[in-house]
Amino acid sequence: MSTKRRIASVMALALWGLGQAAFTSVPASAQTLSVASSQVRDTLAVAMNRAVVVESDTPFVELSIANPGIADISTLSDRSIYVLGKAPGRTTLTILGANGQLIANVEVQVTPDVAEFRERLRQILPSEPIEVRTANDGIVLSGIVSSGARLDAALQLAERYAPGRVSNLMNVGGTQQVMLRVRFSEVQRSAAQSLAASLSASDGVSAGGTGRFAAGALTTAGVPVSVAPATPAQGVLGGGFSIGSVQFQVMLEALESNGLARTLSEPSLTALSGQEAHFLAGGEVPVPVVGDNGTVTVDYRAIGVELTFTPRVVDGDVINLSMDASVSSPDSTNSYSANGVTLPGFRRRQTSTTVELRDGESFAIAGLLQDDFQGSIAQVPWLGDIPVLGALFRSADYQRSQSELMIFVTAHLVTPTRGEALLLPTDRIRLPNEAQLFLNGQLTGSSSGAAEVARQDFRGGYGYVME
pLDDT digits (tens, 9 = 90+) for 428-454: 777 888 888 888 888 777 655 555 555
Cβ atoms within 10 A of the Cβ of 125, count?
A: 17
Handedness of CA 447, 449, 450, 451 (dihedral sign): positive
CA end-to-end distance (rounded Å), the chain: 102
Q: What is the pLDDT of residue 15?
A: 38
Residue 457 has pLDDT above 80, yes or no: no
| pTM of the model as a whole | 0.52
User: Could you read off the pLDDT of 116-165 as tens digits, one per residue?
Assistant: 888 888 888 888 888 888 877 788 998 888 777 788 888 999 888 888 88
Alpha-carbon distance of 233 to 453, in angstroms, equals 49
Alpha-carbon distance of 413 to 180, in angstroms, equals 9
Q: What is the pLDDT of residue 396?
A: 81
Lowest-confidence range among 162-176, 301-315, 414-428, 449-463? 449-463
- Residue that wins the pLDDT comparison between 36 and 245: 245
Helix (H) or strand (E) holding 331: strand 318-338
Q: What is the pLDDT of residue 455?
A: 52
Contact between residue 95 and residue 103 where contact means Cβ atoms under 8 Å apart: yes
What residue ranges define each of the domains in the chain, with the CATH number in brackets?
Answer: 43-111 (2.60.40.1080), 114-172 (3.30.1340.30)
Q: What is the pLDDT of residue 335?
A: 80
Residue 299: strand, helix, or coil: strand
Helix axes 114-124, 148-161, angle to 10 degrees: 150
Mean pLDDT of the chain: 75
Contact between residue 411 and residue 310 where contact means Cβ atoms under 8 Å apart: no
Q: What is the pLDDT of residue 339?
A: 67
Under DSSP, the state recorded for 227 is P
Cβ atoms within 10 A of the Cβ of 270, count?
A: 14
Residue 24 pLDDT class (50, 70, 90 cuts) = very low
Mean pLDDT in residue range 168-184: 82
Q: Single out the residue of 167, 110, 107, 164 nearest to residue 137, CA to CA.
A: 110
User: Could you read off the pLDDT of 198-234 as tens digits, one per residue?
Assistant: 777 777 666 667 766 665 433 434 444 444 443 455 6
Q: What is the pLDDT of residue 219?
A: 40
Q: Single out the residue of 464, 460, 364, 463 nearest to residue 410, CA to CA.
A: 364
